Amino acid sequence: MTAAANLLTFLGLVVTLLLVWRQSLPGRLRLFVAHSVLLALLAATIGWLAGRPGLVGVGAVFLLVKAWAIPRVLWRIAAGAPVRLVAPGKSAGLALLAAGALVVAAYAIMLPVRAATELPTEGAIPLAFAMALIGLFLCVTGRDAFGHILGFLVLENGIFGFAILATYGLPGIVEAGVFLDVLVIVLIMEAVVVRVRQEHDSIEEERLRELRG
């Protein structure tokens, strides 16, 4: 079972790296859904491994929120976007290299944590942490508001995975609160993005600077 958890986390990291590489909007959305599904599976696996049926329930809710409700909202945001030309020469190679560096950093940072824990899942902890860091990195490099939202969601997924692996899940009430928060944040972001697009005809980062007072 430990191997399954490690594999699922590893696959999650691979999907995260693909998110860094992929440029097309619908493609990234599909990757995000895949990422969420993998993490829901991870929650269920660990719930089974640790004998905590509550975690399986958390995984189900996670699947509902992150793989269905939020992607629907994101799809609504994406549907309104004009078709964007991918600028030639903007290679994802450098971004992938940076993401790789973040994975190394995650391993380095998590050394003391791994030394302190006795859980069978400790091998996957740095991978989940790397997902969170790369999520933040996606936020940093996002070229429009959609990119920022996606990065934030990946960061959130990474933290969820990290919590599952390091402590066998947070208390149910905390998880419920976090899910609600994320859902509300995404809805608010949708409203803001739609509004900005109406006023501004664009949500690209370069043009967002013009909003400065």
Site residues for other proteins per CB under 8 A: 105, 108-109, 133, 136-137, 139-142, 148, 205, 208-209, 212
Residue closer to other proteins, measured from CB, 2 or 141: 141
d(CA 183, CA 37): 17
Q: Are 124 and 59 in contact (CB under 8 A)?
A: no
What minimum distance in Å lies between the beta carbon of 161 and other proteins? Answer: 17
Residue closer to other proteins, measured from CB, 62 or 129: 129
Residue closer to other proteins, measured from CB, 14 or 204: 204
- Give the Cα-Cα-Cα angle 83, 69, 16 (nearest 5 degrees): 65
Backbone angles phi, psi at 52, to 5 degrees: -120, 100
What minimum distance in Å lies between the beta carbon of 143 and other proteins? Answer: 8
Residue closer to other proteins, measured from CB, 1 or 97: 97
Contacts of 35 (CB under 8 A, 6+ apart): 12, 15, 16, 19, 154, 157
What minimum distance in Å lies between the beta carbon of 57 and other proteins? Answer: 31
- Give the Cα-Cα-Cα angle 171, 17, 126 (nearest 5 degrees): 45
What minimum distance in Å lies between the beta carbon of 113 and other proteins? Answer: 11
What minimum distance in Å lies between the beta carbon of 209 and other proteins? Answer: 5
Residue closer to other proteins, measured from CB, 37 or 99: 99
d(CA 54, CA 172): 8
Q: How deeply is 82 buried, as exposed, middle or buried, from its count of CB atoms within 10 A (0-12, 13-18, 19+)?
A: exposed
Q: How deeply is 156 buried, as exposed, middle or buried, from its count of CB atoms within 10 A (0-12, 13-18, 19+)?
A: buried
What minimum distance in Å lies between the beta carbon of 46 and other proteins? Answer: 24
